[in-house]
Structure 1
Amino acid sequence: MIRRSQFLRFLCHDLPACSYRRGFGVGMPPPTRGEGFEKDSGSKFEVFGDKLNVELPTAVLPPKELIDSLKKTVQQERLAQLISELTLIYKLSPEVPRKLTLSQWQRYYGLVDLREREDFLYTLHYEEIDEKRRRQLEAEDKENRERISEKQQVLYDNGEMVYARRFHELHDIRGQEFRKQIDHMYGSRLLAQERTDERMPQLIVDCQFLSGLQEKQMSSFVRQIQSLHDRNWFHRNPFRITLANMTPHHNVARLMKRYWTFHFGPQKAADLSFAEMDEMNFDMEMMKADANFKAHPMAPRITSLRMKEAIDSGVHRSQIAYISSTANNYLDGPLDRFKTFILCTSLDHNSWTSSLHAALGDKIPAYRLPFDRYVRWRKGGKVLPLCNQAEILRDVYTGARDWKSAILTHVPEYHLAKQDELPPPVPNSKLTPDRVKKLERQQRLEIIDNIMKSSSLRKMDASAPKKPRRDEERAAKPPRIMVHRYSREERNRRRKAEAEAKASSNASN
């Protein structure tokens, strides 16, 4: 009998090259080809008890390296289930990627929820579309630039004034040169704070809950940290940023490599394998950047140290403010008494992963931003993006704005809009295109989930009969009649006689 791992390897790699490779089974109906792919001939395979539904593009099938790395039967069963599920997704959804790399398959294999996996494929699909559109725009832009440049060169040769790049200009400050100039300004501002002893407070981002978030939430916070640095980079009063409590998790490392240009430089190798992620050092300024990129010496500090070790030395507990949307105390009045502000990568949905829980664990005073004292919150949660929270704290600390104007400036309008200013709600009977698209995705997920559950139940019913339960065994057997050698009364009489005999022997002695 062929092992499942051998079948998966044969199915994904040992077959002749074709667009689709297909085997029917797992109690599901034969699927039809998904939309957006060329129609080519497929093959039907049935390998004894190991049956698998596969009708996928060749570039989507799991790589041989992934299959070889799954040694346990449980892992191979999970991969087979994911391939069957993937077949259904490609059959029902038009928004799927055309290929999956090894690292993408490793991430897909690690996702535990169907909605996360479908959202992951949905994101990859639109990333492919964006990449294709970007390449087209680059090609068109290059062609247009060459054509315009030729015309400008003709005008320049004729002695005319040309207002364009490389013509009649003293300094060409663009790209890396522009970035270098801003780096100098950023560094000079931080050094000026040190020289005049007017340092801005230390801004710490607590990342202890980052690795436990879902893929979408994790990506959102990683991008927020990059936005936090970008705004701080251009500001006249920059914070000294520290990213603390970073744990060595491969998903976090992959997203950092992709989005944190302040440490790794422009995006060049966002799609990393697990082996490359394991080589990343989380103690020495986290991972190494590209050889051609040199990070700014005063860029945000990245460390795995805990909160008390990341805070500047000499800062008293009363001079620290941990910002939490669920804290009891309000942060109000002047902020010049504080030397450290701490933000948290948490949505405060659960108490055990909330910013308040982290503050209490480190015995640091927690404060909430005083939204309720200055504005009327209309809708949405009160956990703002990290950069918005930092801008409010900066404006109030430097005196650029008071609390009310800072909140009105940096809080999105839909949180604070009056009811008469809000757009009229869309009735349920009127479906917008976005709402129709969302409902279709939900229906697809429900269909896929029901089919996978029913197929798993049928597979369990068709498997070898299991050992009956103990209560079923008892019900199947006739009741056992207990026969005693003597009755209870006889036993009591014997015990009484033995006690009397023992007492008389003791008295005679």
Structure 2
Amino acid sequence: MRMRRQSECHIVGGATRASGANPLESLVNKAQMNGMGIALRRISQPCRRFLSTVSTLSDESTALSKMMPSENFVKQFIKRPSHRDKLSSLVSELDMFLDLFGKDSLPAFDDSLWTTYFQTWSAEERCEFLNDLRQEQKKANTPAPVPEGEKASESVISLINQRREENGEMVYAPGFHSLLELRGQEFREVIDNMYGSRLLSMRRCDENLPKLVVDCRFLSEFSVAVQSTFARQIQALHDGNWTSRQPFDISLANFRPDSQLAKIVKRHWFFHYGPPSAGTSFSPHAFAPTLTTKSVVDACSVDRSDVMYISWRARQFLPEDAPPNIRAVVLCASNDYQPWSSSVSAAQKDGITAYRIPVERHIRFEGHSKVLPLSTTSSILRYYFRGEDLGSAIRKSVFLPAKNSRLSEKEEREVFERYKAVVQEAIARAESHSTHKRTKKPSDMPKKPKVHRYSREERRRMRAMETSSRDLSSSS
């Protein structure tokens, strides 16, 4: 029994003590065997019929072991038994999520993702965070759609080039011989130079587009999933602006991040912090988007009458022709789902006129959100301020997914809603069980049998001896 106890792994006070076992593997086993993991497994059985494929047990164990936190994370954050219980519950949630959506549905969890995931206390926010990561991973793994004609022509061209090379001819094409081939850091340096030269030439020729300001006043109040969504949208906004022939001068106003938001933007904003491969050698571009705590009006550096605020809830539509006095345009990092995060109220507070892009006049939305991403909105505004027709600008910039993809998204959303309900129900059961144990009255506890130190005869003999000794002392 003692040898068996010594072979187990214990995580106490943030340090790991193991004898012949990996602490993270034992944590996986504990997460799969603890009460919450059992509850999740029991409730999740009806969800399995929505799956097209179900991973084998070995695949699940391998996928889950790849998602486990490092030992440094365990030493830093797992310092109490409650922390250990929470980590095992989070591993159970991850295990079921991978079981439902596939072992490759989530990116590899590093310590940065684990820190955000571990410090998110709301179960609903954790579920949304995982679903947001799944959608990001799905977009990264989905190749860009290519028309069938172009696919056929590309295959024919590559086949012809292969035959020409086999015949001894000199072939200049990607994968064969290239006069100029830029990849990685060299490609980024060339685009950086082009991006800077275009901005400088537009300023010198007085052909500047209006300054583009992103209002981030509500960003720190959102959940982790919404913060991650807008962080990626702002990075995509810079990427589209970075390669555009007519780039905007972008500023992020009212940016006051807390510790959670700071970790999220550091993971997504490559234009400011650099890619992970750059390390500490990265320096931001001179014309990269500016992060400031200033208000919208101060960041625009122009009069309020020369500023245009774009809101999807505004009552006034954009005019067909761009007003000549506009020197700055403001986009709000908000979905306008709640009154407290309304972009219309933000515009009214700053004394700026709010306008709405008439997307519904030119695009038919069938079950899609009418709130467009920031990069799509900036593309519409770029065409608009270049003097093109507003309807043409909207049709060139807005792309809606096909119907079959909408059906798959609907099914995935149903599975995700069931997963979220399962997690919330399991956590509610665990909390009610722990609350019942804490609030149990002393009268409800079973009484322990009273064990006397001496038997009844011994106690009588001792009392008799005490009485006799007392009588002797009194008589003397």
TM-score by length of 1: 0.63
In structure 1, the partner of 2:393 is: 406
TM-superposed deviation, 1:318: 0.9
Pairing 1:41-60 to 2, within 5 Å after superposition:
60=68
Unaligned runs of 5+ in 1: 1-5, 40-55, 135-151, 270-288, 415-421, 427-431, 469-509
Shift of 1:347: 0.3
> In the alignment, which residue of structure 1 is the partner of 2:293?
304
2:300 aligned with 1:317: no
Deviations 1:382-415 (A, max 9, x none): 321112111222212111x21122122223347x
Partner secondary structure for residue 443 of structure 1: helix
Q: How far did residue 320 of structure 1 move?
A: 0.4
- What is the aligned partner in structure 2 of residue 459 from structure 1? 434
1:77 partner letter: S
Query: CA deviation digits over 1:99-128, x for unaligned, max 9?
Result: 855433321222233243245456668989
Q: How many Å separate the matches in 2 of 1:225 and 1:361? A: 23
3-state SS, counterpart of residue 330 of structure 1: coil
Alpha-carbon distance change, 379 to 457 in structure 1, aligned in 2, over 3 angstroms:
closer
Q: Could you tell me how far apart the structure 1 residues matched to 2:343 and 2:416 are?
A: 33
1:210 match = 219
Cα contact 1:186–1:233 (8 A) shared by 2: yes
Pairing 1:77–2:82 present: yes
SS at match of 1:242: strand
Q: Tell me the SS of whatever aligns to 2:190.
A: helix
Q: Secondary structure at the match of 1:220?
A: helix
Question: How far apart, CA to CA, are the structure 2 residues paired with 1:133 and 1:367?
Answer: 35
Indicate how the Cα distance of structure 1 residues 88 and 339 shifts in structure 2: closer, same or farther if over 3 A, else same: closer
Counterpart check, 1:193 vs 2:202: yes
Cα distance, 1:339 vs structure 2: 0.5
- Distance in 2 (alpha carbons) for counterparts of 1:91 and 1:243: 38
Aligned counterparts of 1:35 and 1:226: Cα–Cα separation in 2: 34
Q: Distance in 1 between matches of 2:366 and 2:200?
A: 42
Please tell me whether the aligned partners of residues 384 and 390 of structure 2 are also in contact (alpha carbons under 8 angstroms).
yes
| 1:110 is aligned to 2:97 | no
Counterpart for residue 275 of structure 1: none
- Measured at CA, do residues 410 and 122 of structure 1 come closer, stay the same or move farther in structure 2, by a change above 3 Å? closer
Return closer, same or farther for 1:466/1:356 CA change in 2, 3 Å cut-off: farther
Aligned to 2:249: 240
Does the alignment pair 1:352 with 2:340?
A: yes
1:13 is the counterpart of 2:16 = yes
Per-residue deviation, 1:342? 0.5
In structure 1, what is the Cα distance between the partners aligned to 2:365 and 2:66?
A: 52
**What letter is aligned with 1:411?**
V
Q: Percent identity?
A: 32
- Higher RCO (CA-CA < 8 Å; seq separation 6+): 2
Q: Distance in 2 between matches of 1:169 and 1:35?
A: 43
Contact 1:321 1:366 in 2 (8 A): yes
Q: Tell me what 2:275 maps to.
A: 266
Alignment pair present for 1:342 and 2:310: no
In the TM superposition, residue 344 of structure 1 has moved relative to its aligned partner by 0.9
Sort the Cα spacing of 1:129 and 1:405 in 2 relative to 1 into closer, same or farther, 3 A. Answer: closer
The residue type equivalent to 1:193 in the other structure is: M
Aligned residue pairs total: 394
Q: Distance in 2 between matches of 1:226 and 1:318?
A: 29
Q: CA deviation at 1:11?
A: 9.9
2:323 alignment partner, SS class = coil
Counterpart for residue 381 of structure 2: 393
Q: Which of 427, 449, 454 is equivalent to 2:424?
A: 449
- State the secondary structure of the residue aligned to 2:213: strand
Q: Is the Cα–Cα contact under 8 Å of residues 243 and 301 in structure 1 kept in the other structure?
A: yes
**Alpha-carbon spacing, 1:348–1:177, altered in 2? closer, same or farther (3 Å):** same
Structure whose residues are more often helix by fraction: 2
Is the Cα contact below 8 Å between 1:66 and 1:102 reproduced in 2? Answer: no
1:133-282, aligned counterparts within 5 Å? 161-163=170-172, 171-268=180-277
Gaps of 5+ in 2: 1-8, 43-53, 144-161, 444-476
Q: Counterpart of 1:48?
A: none
Q: Distance in 1 between matches of 2:38 and 2:358?
A: 58
Distance 1:27 1:327, change over 3 A: closer
Please give the alpha-carbon distance, in whole angstroms, between the structure 1 residues aligned to 2:115 and 2:209.
43
